[in-house]
Structure 1
Amino acid sequence: MEVHAITWVITAVVLLGFITFDFVSHVRKPHEPTMKEAGGWMAFYVILACIFGGFLWYFGGGDSGDHSKGVEFFAGYITELSLSVDNLFIFALIIGSFKVPREYQQKVLLIGIALALIFRGIFIGIGAAAIAAWSWVFYIFGIFLLYTAIKLIVDEIRDEDETEVNDMLMVKLTRKFIPVSEEFHGDKLFTKVNGKKMVTPLMLALVSVGFIDLMFAFDSIPAIFGLTKDPYIVFTANAFALMGLRQMYFLLDGLLDRLVFLSYGLGVILAFIGVKLVLHALHENSLPFINGGQPLHVPEVSTVTSLIVIVGVLVITAVASLVKTKRDENMGGVRPH
C-alpha cells in the first residue's frame, strides 16, 4: 500500500477534527463524565478503529488481495491500546498528586494526549528514517524491549513504583523557572495573582501527562515497529489508541487496581516483540561481526502469529487478574480501591 502526501494530510485533518470536536462538545464545559458517556465514546472510537482496520484489510493489499496491512494495523492497535492501559495508572497518580477536581480532569487528559500525539508523530518519523537507513536498528529496538520487559516484571515482583510526580525533572524545572499558583482557578491554564502572571496546577498536570506519555513512547514505538515497518500504520494505530484513552480513563476508574497481572502480561508481550525484532534483525543482518555481515537463516514470526499471541496474553492476563481479586475478596482480603 502506497501512502501519498495527501493521505497524510487528510489523516491529520481528520484527527484534528475529532480532537476539536471532543474539546468543544465535552471538555470546554467542565463536567465529570458518566459511565454511560465514557462507555459510549470509548465504543465509538473502538468501532472507528475497527472500520479503519477493515478498510486496510480490504484495500490495503491493492490488486494482490494481501490482507497483511489490516492484520498489522490490528496487531499494532491492540498492542498500543494495552500499553495505554498501563499508562492510565501513571495518569491517575499524576492527577491525584495535583488534586485535579474531577470536572477538570477531561481537559487535562485531552490536551495532554493531543501533545503526546504530536510528540509520537515526531518519534515515528525519526524511527522510520532510522530503520530505512540502518537495518541494524532492529537489534537496538529488540534488545531495548527485552530489557524493558525484564525491568517491568522485576519491578512488579518487587512491588516498586519509581514514579513520584514532584521528583519529575519537568515538574522541578517548571516550579523553579515558572511561577505556579497555589490554587486552581477554574479550568484556566494561566492566571494572575497580585498582578503576576502564573501557570495553574492544572497546566502543570496537563504538561506532566503529555511528558509521561512521551516517556512511554520509548517503549511503545519500538514495539509497534516490531509488528509493522509502515510508518502510516504505526502512526494511525497510535492515534486511534490515544484517541480513546481519555474515555478509557473514566471507564476503567476503579477497575485498574483489579488488573493485578497487567504488568506481567505487558512484560510478556514486550519480550515477545523484542525476540521477534532480534530474529528479524538477524534475518537481514549486515553487521560485519555477526556471521561475516551475511544474513542468518532464522525463523521469523508472522504478523498473524503476533496478533494471536498478543490477544491471547491479554485475555489470560485479564481473566487471571479478575479471578485473583475475586478470590481475595471472598477470602476476606483487602478490597481493591
Structure 2
Amino acid sequence: MNTAKSFGAIGDGITDDTTAIQSWLNAGGYLLEDGVYKITSTLALTATGRKFATSGARLLAGTQDMTMMTVTGDDCAISGHFSGNSLAAAGVYVTGSRAVIENGRYEDIRATAAQDARAINVSTAGGVTVRRNTILRTHNAKAGGFCRAIAVNSTTAATGYTAVTDNIIDGVTGSEGDAIQILFNDGGNVFLDARAVIAQNNIRNASRRFIKVQGSNTLVKDNVIRFDTVTTPELPSNYINAFQSDNVTITGNDIGAGLLSTPIAVTGIAARRAKGITIRDNIIRQDNARDVTSIFLDYVEDGAVTDNLCFGGGTCVAIGNSQNVIVDRTIGFGGLASRRTAFGTSSNTNVIIRSAANMNAERTAPIQTDGTGNKAELNWGMK
C-alpha cells in the first residue's frame, strides 16, 4: 500500500520523517494521512501534474528558515496542512505554471532578521489559483524580515491568469506585514500585465498592508478587511494599495476602521500616470476623529471613482496630479469637520466632482476642486 508510513514515516511529531516522505512522494504518493510529520529539509514536487494533500495529517517544520515544500512542475495541485512551528519561512514555494493551491491550512510561518517569510509564495508568470485556504499567524521575530501570507510575483508580464479568492487570513505581523501581494515588476517597466483577481478574501490584522498590487489588469473585489488591534503598527501603510498599474478595478470591498493609513490608494508616477482606474461601490469606515483620507488618487489618468460610502475619518476622496477623472455619487458621513467629502487639488486637469452628498453639517467647505478645467457640479450638502 502506497502510504507514507509504508515508506518508513512515523508521524509522531518528533521523529524526522523527511527522507521517508520524500521517498514516498518520489514513488507517486500524494495523500498524507493521520499523523504529525516532522520535516527538517524541503520536500520537492518536480513533475508536471503532481498532487499533494493531507487528511488528518500535517507537516511540522523542524528547521529554522526552511521552506517546507517546493513545487516546480506545471499543473500541480496542493491541498495540505503546513505548520511552520514558528521556524519555517515558507509553507509552499511554487514556480510552476497553473498550480492550484486550495483548501489548505498554513500556520506559524515566521520571519527572522536574516529571512523573510511567505506562507504561500508563488513566482511565475504562468498563472496560479490560490483559493479557500486558511492562513494564521504569519509573524515576525524581533528585528525580523517582512511577512506575507500570499505572495505572487514575476519579473515578466503574465502569460496566464492569477486568482486569489475565498481565503481566510488572520494575523500578518511585524514591521512589514502584507496579507496579499501581487507584484509584476522587472525593475524597469513597472506597469507589467498581471491578469489577476483578488476576490472574496476575509483578512484580519495585517500590520502594513492588506492588499498590495503592482501589476496591470487586476481586479480587487468583495474583500472584507478588519483591523481590531489597539496598537498602531511600526510602519503602517494603505489597506488596499495599487501603484504603477493600469486597468485596476477596486470594487465592493468592505473596509473596517483601524490604525493603518489610507483605506484605498492608487498611484502612478510623475513620468507615467496609472491609466484606466475604477474605484466603485466600496464601503469604508474610520473613526470620526481619525484624520486620514479614505480614497486617494495621485498621478492617475482616465479614471472613475463612483458610488463609494465613507463613514468617519478625514477627506473621503482626494485627488492630485491627475487628469480625466470623474468622482461621482460619493457619500460622506461624519468625520472631521475640517476635512471634505471630495477634494481635487490645482495639480489636476479635467477632474469632475459631481453628485456628491456631504452628510456632515459641520463641514463648511465639504466639496472643493481647484485648477484648470476642473469642475464641481450637482453636489449636495454644501454650505
What TM-score do you get using the length of structure 1 for normalisation? 0.20
Q: Which has the higher Rg, Structure 1 or Structure 2?
A: 2
Higher RCO (Cα < 8 Å, 6 or more apart): 1
Q: Relative to total residues, which structure has the larger helix share, 1 or 2?
A: 1
Q: TM-score, normalised by structure 2?
A: 0.18
